[in-house]
Chains A and B, each alone.
Chain A
């Protein structure tokens, strides 16, 4: 797939979880290109997912969601592990970018969300804000790390490493409009095949104004650990309420202080 990559256009990922086979090639390719040394290997004793989470060392994470019912299903009607290659969503309205006090988090010329490592000073406000648990601290650099959507590769006209490595095209990279069209076609196909539970996540603007890295899911977003449209809210929603609470309290406290400290007629 030779996509011509032009600055000024919107790019993203369409991750189709219905054809993810859980091979983790994306995780490996990501680590290799971005020179992430990875965490100490761990055995989580919970499915085949031993990566566990997105963090400073894992910018792609194949999530294994145990969706197997306790009782065996009819032949041809079984359910299996849900597998989903999770990644930074590069939200249109990004919570991390909203709160970042240094301006380290920017939107690039490819419409992706990028943390400038030389500007970031490790305050971790973005970690408190990201509703997807994507960002984590790299203790050795003292900065926040996450998927860059291979910013350096895009600048060189190359597609991101994970999409290039994905053997099933579960991860597709391209101009956002093209990906959205492809996703609509894929969803219609799945629905016509009877997979009515299939749904797109982040394709429209219901969550964070739309996601540049959006997904086709085979179950509710919550099943995959993704907030649904009702819960996908920006941190700044609490600015006004928080400040009003503080202001009213401070005003009442000042009145209390005046009552306690005021001059009294002394004998």
Chain B
């Protein structure tokens, strides 16, 4: 086989199932936090219930992240903390390289973990209070400081959802290093998956039903973005001459497209309902929402799998 523009003689790093799982959950934990923050900062007061669901979802998906990363280290799992602390004799101090996304990502995950945990605890406390004292408006993390806390966490969340793509590109692997699109692609699909996950969760929380349609609408926007980036991704790797490597994963790409299509259909349906009947009809949480959410999440997973496996 002839390699056209880019030549690669590199070995695959064997980043497989654990890393696929991590990329999936990193997209969701970061994306859910970012969406929850947006709902709280720019949304309607009635979006607060869904925002709390987002913080719960962010925390739940966060837990999987360090576990999967540590398991992936194999026999060296107990040295996971070497990502943070430099144990080179005579050097000591902290390990940090701004030019190595894995190094930055390890730090970002640590700090983001703090934000996601605090926000989930806050959501829990607020939920308990709502149940005991009706309408108590005071919040443990309310006011400007609380908003700033969410904002910083949200920015970190967007970083967590995206840096995994940049990490793949900062290598010498075929496909991965032939494109600049992966970071954007991962954050767009992570947000789309997060909106779908939160939409799924609103089914089990009547107070959050108000937000269901808005989540579908946002999911639609994220999916348009993802579709555009997907096209850009294929243009870049075709230009590099490495597109053939990803063709064997065509079924995964089809699943990814089905996920994007589901988001678009749900988002478009949402806009139509709103135009026709106003906000009142939005809470039509039926089977379709469940199917759509599951298809979107499956698409998020499939897209990451296709990207990861293309180089190996």
Contact = CB atoms under 8 A, between A and B. Distances in A.
Contacts of B162: 246, 249-250
Contacts of B278: 266-267
B198 to A, nearest CB: 11
Interface residues of B, number: 75
Interface in B185-237: 185-188, 191, 214-215, 217-218, 221-222, 225, 229
A239 B99 contact: yes
A121 B73 contact: yes
Interface string A118-140: 11111111011111110111011
Nearest to A231: B7
Nearest to A130: B10
Nearest to B31: A253
A130 B42 contact: no
A123 B83 contact: yes
Nearest to A118: B87
A95 B177 CA distance: 13
Looking at chain B's contact residues, the main secondary structure is: helix
B180 A245 contact: yes
Interface string A207-242: 000000000000000100111100101011011011
Interface stretch (B101-109, B125-133, B142-150, B289-297): B101-109
Contact of A137 (B14, B171, B218, B229): B14
A139 B74 CA distance: 7
Contacts of B106: 101
A134 to B, nearest CB: 8
Interface stretch (A24-32, A102-110, A163-171, A185-193): A102-110
Nearest to A143: B76
B43 A245 contact: no
A73 interface: no
B111 to A, nearest CB: 16
Given A253-B221, A261-B39, A124 B166 contact: no
A75 interface: no
Interface in B5-60: 6-15, 34-35, 38-39, 42-44, 47
Nearest to A142: B75
A137 B6 CA distance: 25
B13 A124 contact: yes
B246 interface: no
User: Max chain A CB contacts within 10 Å: which of B10, B168, B177?
Assistant: B10
Contacts of B176: 128
B209 to A, nearest CB: 15
A122 B13 contact: no
Contacts of B217: 260
A123 B73 contact: yes
Given A133-B9, A142-B74, A249-B183, A235 B95 contact: no
A137 B14 CA distance: 9
A157 interface: no
A103 B44 contact: no
A42 interface: no
User: Max chain B CB contacts within 10 Å: which of A256, A260, A261, A263?
Assistant: A260
Nearest to A241: B180
A102 B10 contact: no
Nearest to A95: B172
B183 A242 contact: yes
Contacts of B83: 101-102, 121, 123
Contact of A102 (B34, B82, B181): B82
B120 interface: no
B169 interface: yes
Contacts of B99: 98, 236, 239
Contacts of A122: 73-76, 79
Given A123-B102, A249-B188, A226 B9 contact: yes
B11 A246 contact: no
B244 interface: no
B88 A261 contact: no
B175 to A, nearest CB: 12
Nearest to B100: A99
Contact of B86 (A103, A239, A257): A103
Interface of A: 53, 55, 95, 98-104, 106, 116, 118-125, 127-133, 135-137, 139-143, 222, 225-228, 231, 233, 235-236, 238-239, 241-246, 248-250, 252-254, 256-264, 266-267
15 contacts: A98-B99, A100-B100, A101-B103, A116-B88, A119-B82, A119-B86, A128-B10, A128-B176, A129-B170, A141-B75, A238-B169, A250-B187, A256-B221, A258-B42, A263-B42
Given A246-B165, A264-B279, 7 more contacts: A128-B12, A130-B11, A242-B180, A249-B187, A249-B225, A253-B158, A254-B158
